[in-house]
Amino acid sequence: MSTTAPPAPLLPSNAVDSTGPITAADGTPLQTALSRATRKARIRAFLLVAPLLAFVVLTFVAPIGQMLWRSVSNDSFSANMPALTAWFAENEALGSDGGPEGDGIPGEDAFEALATDLKGARENRTAGIVGTRVNYDLSGTRSLFTKSARQARKLEAPFKAALLDVDEDWGDAELWSVMRSASRTYTGDFYLAALDMQRNVDGEIEAVPENRRIYVPLFVRTLWLSALIAGLCLLLAFPVAHLLARLPLRYSNILMIFVLLPFWTSLLVRTTSWMVMLQSQGVVNDLMVAVGIVGDDGRIQMMYNQAGTIIAMTHILLPFMILPLYSVMKTIPHDYVRAARSLGATPSTAFWRIYFPQTVPGIGAGVLLVFILAVGYYITPALVGGSSGQLISNLIAFHMQKSLNWSLAAALAALLLAGVMLLYWLYDRLIGIDNMKFG
Amino acid sequence: MSMLKLPAHASLGERVWHYTYLVICGLIFLFLISPILIVIPLSFNAEPYFTFTREMLTFNPDGYSMRWYDRILTFGMTAPDAVRDSSWWKDVWNNADWISAAKNSVIIGVFSTLLATALGTLAALGLSRPEMPYRRLIMGVLISPMIVPLIITATGLFFFYSATGLAHTYVGIIMAHATLGIPFVIITVTATLVGFDHSLTRAAQNLGATPFTVFRQIILPLILPGVISGALFAFVTSFDEVVVVLFIADFDQQTIPRQMWNGIREQISPTILSVATILVIFSILLLTTIELLRRRSERLRGLSPG
């Protein structure tokens, strides 16, 4: 807290005339004393931050680092199928016309390694793990591994014939190409999968058939819905923020409760409320039937679809748009608009030419913040979104909890993270994270 | 609602637009507040419906009941139908699902808040010093838990905690929630330090105060409103957090939001609405506290005339 270096003495009036460097009270040159004091102050400031920085590195940076690591490394094949992994490493890619018979199927030595590994997998009960890994890239193969491992003990040379006898799927060139890429512990294949791409039999990268593309369309949908929600929030927030900024403080403080109460209310409570309101037997539909907008048999499905996600998320994120807009609008003097009007501008000219340009920093801050938050939403789409209202986060959760393809989940999360970090950087450049405020 | 005065010379068109504008604003305020308020009357529904029954709309007392609030206590009890004496309440305290979820939420919330507030305040003091090196970068890292989607944080923590043995532990959840609360503490405390008059601390030092005394007597009273509102933000963040809990907590480490999440996904019952009502009242109290703190802080720092 205190500066230990003594304060620099006032310069004597003849300092300019004196020869040699200006010195501090203890005789050291002033420049040295000053830089030493500055260094101490820097270290002291850093030491105050250090405990928290260490904590955040431990509980946030390291976990995300580990997730990124997961997205490029997966040893479930190489750790459990050592012999075949070694064979793949020693033998270059076969290609669709490779192998002794030119059909993309390797020869006896590869099958011997496969049989050895299947015996090992049988003993260590790891056939399921390997099968699951290969199954990510070629569906229906998990049972091939578990079934063959069960019969592994009976396998005898010639192994190629023996294994083809167990299941003729072992003679599938695509399976061998998939196993080869699965045998690499460090791989970018999960990023390929996350971008709806795959390696073909010859090891070339290609887009998956259009009807099997899942992730790119979902990324597009996430971006599009987030942009739509940010746009809707802006549309709703602008008039309200303008009103709050123009009203005398004693009124605007009361109306501010309408903005801050939702902001402080649990996300799950707000999502639950929307589920209650949007149900086909819910309040909104009841109201519309009572007023006569729709008939009792024509109740509108507003939940478990995209509409549900859009309505609920717009409501939940609206305060994040109102608050930055309000804080910018509050600083805009009304005199400018009045001056424009008195110089003959129509109300709309005065608004668009004078008032609106001054609100742009608030619009930028609000739109970016809402967009960043919307892109990563999980809870609300999961509860009210049905299948058409799911966002990319929901698919990450699916791969983490249901399909257990953790590396793919990590790759999808890494892509999402890259996007969010880019927006975060942009936000810091344009608005500055220091300027973020609540309430 | 003519709090915004129109000039006397306003044309008819301007008047029409002015009132249209006020109506639009009113509708937007309605959109903001109605989902929060609607759960309150519905939680007293006598029927297991999520809409107003005819009895409710005609204010017939038969349409209303406390049954869903009762259900908060009885759900999960071993003997819910027993006589309501002290052993019944003991059963509630020990076995009711919502009560044990509330206990978990409070324990996790309190400890993560303490951790976040202590570390965050200290760091904010360092970050608001002009000599702080790499200020922008470090600030960016410390604020990022608020920006990074929860699903990503949860995924990372799942891998990290599985590898380090912190999965399924209270310590693990508390640390994760503290991380999520830290950005709020930093932002609110840094905000109270803006315009902080450093000559106050120098004066205290000149008068012979130790660094600790300076902190306790000069700095802390001035930043206390920011510290408390940061702590409240951190607590609410933890109290409302469900994604990380879903990924790293053990099955029996239920919290209130997790219990709500399960309830909504499995079979939604009006009990959820009564819990929601309690949480809404809770957030009204919080909002009031924050507002009082904000005014006190502005008065202390001389930003507004009280």
Mean pLDDT score, A300-325: 93
- Burial bucket for residue A107 (CB in 10 Å: 0-12, 13-18, 19+): middle
Q: Are residues B52 and A283, on separate chains, in Cβ contact within 8 Å?
A: yes
- The CATH number for A408's domain is 1.10.3720.10
The burial class, CB within 10 Å (0-12 / 13-18 / 19+), for B58 is: exposed
Chain center to CA of A172? 37
CB contact A235 to B (< 8 Å): no
A14 part of a folded domain: no
Q: Which of B28, B29, B175 comes nearest A59 by C-beta? A: B175
DSSP 8-class letter at A196: T
Q: Is A337 within 8 Å of A351 (Cβ atoms)?
A: yes
Which string of b and e fits B285-303 if b means at least 16 CB within 10 Å?
ebbeebbebbeebeeebee
Same domain, A275 and A354: yes
**A281 and A383 assigned to the same domain:** yes
Domain closes at, from A211, A240, A257: A211
Between the CA of residue B244 and those of A104, A206, B112, B161, B303, what are the distances in Å? 46, 36, 14, 11, 39
Residue A327 lies in a domain: yes
Query: Based on the structure, what is the number of domains in chain A?
Result: 3
The pLDDT, as a whole number, for residue B138 is 93
Assess whether A223 and A362 both reside in one domain: yes
Question: Terminus-to-terminus CA distance in chain B, angstroms?
Answer: 26
**Residue found under tokens 């072992």:** A170
Residues B145, A439: C-beta atoms closer than 8 Å:
no
B174–chain A Cβ distance below 8 A for any pair: no
CB B39 within 8 A of CB A272: yes
Say if residue A313's pLDDT is above 90. Answer: yes
What pLDDT shows up at residue A301? 87
In the prediction, which pLDDT does B255 show?
94
User: How much of chain A exceeds pLDDT 90, in percent?
Assistant: 44
Question: Is A48 in the B-facing interface, judged by CB distances under 8 Å?
Answer: yes
Residue A277 inside a domain? The answer is: yes
**For the segment A247-269, what is each residue's pLDDT rounded down to a tens digit?**
988 888 889 999 999 988 999 99
Domain end (from A156, A191, A211):
A211
Closest by alpha carbon to B91, among B83, B269, B68, B270? B83
Which amino acid is residue A170, in one-letter code? W
Are A206 and A227 in the same domain?
A: no
Q: Flag the least confident range among A2-11, A117-126, B47-56.
A: A2-11
pLDDT tens for chain B, 306 residues long, are 345 667 777 788 888 988 999 999 999 999 999 999 999 999 998 888 888 888 888 888 888 988 889 888 888 888 888 888 888 899 889 989 999 999 999 999 999 999 999 999 999 999 988 888 898 899 999 999 999 999 999 999 999 999 999 999 999 999 999 999 999 999 999 888 887 777 888 898 889 888 889 888 888 888 888 899 899 999 999 999 999 999 999 988 999 999 999 988 877 788 899 999 999 999 999 888 888 887 887 777 665 543
- pLDDT of A2 > 60? The answer is no
User: In angstroms, what separates the C-alpha of B252 from chain A's closest C-alpha?
Assistant: 17
pLDDT at A199 over 90: no
ipTM, 2 decimals?
Answer: 0.89
Is the minimum CB–CB distance between B72 and chain A shorter than 8 Å? Answer: no
In chain A, the largest separation of any two C-alpha atoms, in whole Å, equals 104
The confidence score (pLDDT) of residue B1 equals 39
Give the pLDDT confidence score for residue A4 in this predicted structure: 46
| A171 and A243 inside one domain | no
In total, the C-beta contacts within 8 angstroms joining chain A to chain B are 277
Go through the domains of chain B in sequence order and give each one's CATH number: 98-300 (1.10.3720.10)
Q: Which chain A positions have a beta carbon within 8 Å of B149's beta carbon?
A: 375-378, 393, 416-417, 420
φ/ψ of A199, rounded to 5, equals -95, 135
Residue B62 has a pLDDT of 86
Average pLDDT for A298-308: 88
Locus of tokens 């990450």: A396
- The alpha carbon of residue B54 is apart from the nearest alpha carbon of chain A, in Å, by 12
- Strand spans (E) along chain B: none
Burial label for B5, CB within 10 Å (0-12, 13-18, 19+), is exposed
Determine how many CB atoms are found less than 10 A away from the CB of residue B141: 15
Average pLDDT over chain A, rounded to an integer: 87
pLDDT tops 50 at residue A64: yes
Specify whether A401 is located in the same domain as A269: yes
The answer to whether residue A194 is domain-embedded is yes
Q: Cβ distance A73 to B143 under 8 Å?
A: no
Task: Assess whether A3 and A46 both reside in one domain.
Answer: yes
Domain boundary among A211, A233, A258: A211
Whether B38 and chain A come into contact, CB under 8 Å, resolves to: yes
Give the model's pLDDT for residue B304: 52
Q: pLDDT at residue A279 above 90? A: no
pLDDT grade, residue A59 (50/70/90)?
very high
Whether residues A55 and A172 share a domain: the answer is no
Q: Is the pLDDT of residue A120 over 70?
A: yes
Other Cβ atoms within 10 Å of A168 Cβ, number:
9
Structure tokens at B251: 């099955």
Q: Which whole number is the average pLDDT over A302-319?
A: 93
Query: Taking 50 as the threshold, does the pLDDT of residue A104 lie above it?
Result: yes
Amino acid at A289: V
Mean local confidence (pLDDT), A381-399: 92
Signed CA dihedral, A318, A319, A323, A329: sign only: positive
Say yes or no: A1 contacts chain B, CB-CB below 8 A: yes
Q: Which of A175-184, A199-208, B218-227, B234-243 has the lowest mean pLDDT?
A: A199-208
- Which of B234, B194, B138, B133 has its CA nearest to residue A428? B138
Say yes or no: A131 and A175 in one domain.
yes
Q: Are strands A205-207 and A197-199 parallel, antiparallel or unpaired?
A: antiparallel
One-letter amino acid of A331? T
The DSSP result for A55-68, as a single string, is HHIIIIIHHHHHHH
Could you tell me the two tokens for A258? 């309408």
Query: Which pairs from B197-204 meet CB under 8 Å and 24+ separation?
Result: B201/A1
Q: Provide the 3-class DSSP secondary structure of residue B195.
A: coil
Residue type, A24: A
pLDDT of residue B4: 66
pLDDT at A249: 85
Q: Give the CA angle between residues A342, A346, A348 to the nearest 5°.
A: 130
Does the residue A162 lie in any domain? yes
- Say yes or no: A205 and A139 in one domain: yes
A199 and A236 belong to one structural domain:
no
A15 in any annotated domain: no
The two structure tokens encoding residue A336? 């400018």
Band of pLDDT at residue A93, cut at 50, 70 and 90:
low
Please tell me the distance in Å from B129's CA to the nearest CA on chain A. Answer: 7
Q: What is the pLDDT of residue A69?
A: 94
Report H helices in A195-346: 215-246, 249-264, 267-278, 283-291, 306-329, 335-342
Question: Chain B within 8 Å of A63 (Cβ-Cβ)?
Answer: yes
Contact B272/A at CB under 8 A? yes
Residue A367 lies in a domain: yes
Q: Are residues A168 and A225 in the same domain?
A: no
End-to-end Cα separation, chain A, in angstroms: 31
Residue A437 clears pLDDT 80, i.e. is over it: no
Domain of residue A51, residue span: 1-9+21-72
Partner-chain residue, chosen from A383, A420, A438, that has the shortest CB–CB distance to B149:
A420
